[in-house]
Amino acid sequence: MKDENLWKLEVDNNQICWLTFDTPKKSVNVLSERALHELDTLLEDLLINTPKGVIFQSAKKTGFILGADINEFKSIDNFDDIYEATISGQSIMNKIEALKCPTVALLNGFTLGGGLELAIACDYRVSIDSHNKCIGFPEIKLGLLPGFGGYVRSIKKIGAISALELMLSGRFISSKDAFKLGLVDSLTEPNNLKKIAVDIVLLKPKINTSKWYLKILNYNPFRMLIYLNIKNRILKKIKASQYPAPLSILKLWKNHGVIKKTAHKESAKEFCRLYLTSTSRNLIRVFQLSNKLKGLGSKESSINTCHVIGGGTMGADIASWSALKGIQTSIQDRDIKFIQPGLIRADKLFEKKLKNKSDIKKAQNRLITDLEGEKISSADIIIEAISEDLKIKQSLFKKLEEQCSESTILATNTSSIKIEDIASVMKNPERLVGIHFFNPVHRLPLVEVVKGEKTSDEVVKAAISFVSQIGKLPLPCNSSPGFVVNRILAPYMNQALICYMDGHMPETIDKAAKDFGMPTGPIELADRVGLDIALHVVEVFGVKPPDILKTKVIAGDLGAKTGKGFYKFINNRPKKSKQFPKPSKDLSDRLIYSLLNESMSCLSDGIVDDTDLIDAAVIFGTGFAPFTGGPLNYAKSIGFESIINKLNSLEKSFGSNFHPSEGWGKLIT
């Protein structure tokens, strides 16, 4: 049986050609090799038999086109093949641009990467009027640049400053913001998209381009000034050796501007060079790890109501995030004074994320206080986020088991206590699961879903689906002190404090970690987590914490929350000395290898049984240098024997904390 066409061509009574894109068996449209080939064939005919106009639309409710099919990237591994595919894509976009009739793209949602490049190749873009952020060039997050000509066309359309910012940040913007930039020509209601498109084809309004004063910036010496200004800002945030794509885009701009033939050809070459770097391969891996976690949950979750017990920072933020994502949520604590600060933060979260006043009001209405716990009996899921005290948690769940429905999911947000220890007092311990969020809840995407010895598979599956439902990345793992992320972070942070005791300045230690690619140094991280919590986490693993940590906790210098820890904090920012010794290679190795070794121990001990999940946990839970593809992927690139040899060397110099995990040897054999 012949495969159904991905592009459906229809001609209406006005002699307007409608090209409808529909990728089978997927919820989104992606530009696969097959889709591009089909489109190319159709365009060849349209160039000869030109209709009154051509309108591109999607059959998917999720949006226009999500971008290129990332899964096809794996099969191409040499420059010539990548270049041929990129030039072919450019040729297709050039054919759209060359059509001798009005062309319109109907944007009904996600329009990203290659999808946006196709839309920009059209004369006009009509979009649904929305605050949803669904338009952008995310290629930079894969270590790449727009390769199908979007680099040149976006600069011509909205000017260099705005276009470069979109490409270099990879951020998504709403259709409203795209309209303000000039990237979208018209906004309308969903049911009016087609009518507006037909009117545009028939009336042929003036095609928008960037303003005259923005066009001037395409000439030297303005290009050089823009290049130097943006370059300096970028190099304050990243290393070009770790993330080469931003400077590649800038150099492309500096050297070739928007001279169509030259810039298109050079952008194709640069795309190929970047794709062959380890950074791009690893960032694509990170993207695929994210999709792997997203795919763990069931598409249909039955969670409509959530009850959170504990109105502190974590509890309130879990509740507000749940309400933000459409779930009717109640929050309980002993007194309204404990909940009030969280409600204030919730309002700020809703205003930041939703924009629309009506949507903000709906989210506020979904979040209610319930001091008496009246909603316990009707909740689909109950999440406990009270103090890290085993007896208190046991007492709570013993009561909850009697009060709630038999179908209610009972979850604890504990960060360090074993699930089976809490569940030991319950009549039905199989009901309890760990759902461990990270702070700040609204920023960190990972949530550990922890299976105790007796937790049922059905409860774990339901918990994973709930985490997916609220837009987080679920990481299934087995119960163990610290689970995955905190367990891996503990020796890393502890080693940083030992380095401090050895005479290294906090600034030097943090610089060593940041030079490697970590988002925050371990000393600042300890201050931000709270030194009291850091002390607790270290002690959970039976490791003797450095005396300095106990001293600071006893003195009440707990870090950012008290204004003083290893650093002094002013307006929640650490005051750091600008004069400090440069970090040595040994210092960097002590930090990173302690983290690598514990990552392997987690795998070896069966806390997680998949190297991909370990890498995903550390990347999405700690921000571990994404360009490496994760700690175990990074170790693999170095070579497991080299890792063992280095750990042996560090053990001789700095003690038994570096004794190689048994797991390294298992991977070699």
How many angstroms separate the Cα of 168 from the Cα of each of 119, 136, 138, 140, 238? Answer: 19, 11, 9, 6, 12
b/e per residue, 321-335, with b = 16+ CB within 10 A? bbbbbebbbbbbbee
State the angle between helix axes of 313-324 and 336-354 in degrees (0 to 180), rounded to the nearest 10: 40
Spatial distance between the Cα atoms of 503 and 484, rounded to a whole number of angstroms: 30
CA-based radius of gyration for the chain: 27
Q: Which one-letter amino acid corresponds to residue 554? A: I
* Contact in structure between 268 and 614 (CB atoms under 8 Å): no
List the Cα angle 72/76/82 in 5-degree steps. Answer: 105
Show the beta-strand stretches assigned E in 119-176: 124-128, 133-136, 173-174
State the angle between helix axes of 531-540 and 485-501 in degrees (0 to 180), rounded to the nearest 10: 110
Q: Supply the residues annotated as catalytic.
A: 436
* Contact in structure between 371 and 333 (CB atoms under 8 Å): yes
* Contact in structure between 149 and 104 (CB atoms under 8 Å): no
Measured from the Cβ of residue 541, the count of other Cβ atoms closer than 10 Å reads 17
Residue 68 gets which letter from DSSP? Answer: B
Closest CA to 118 of 224, 43, 210, 62: 43
* Contact in structure between 194 and 106 (CB atoms under 8 Å): yes
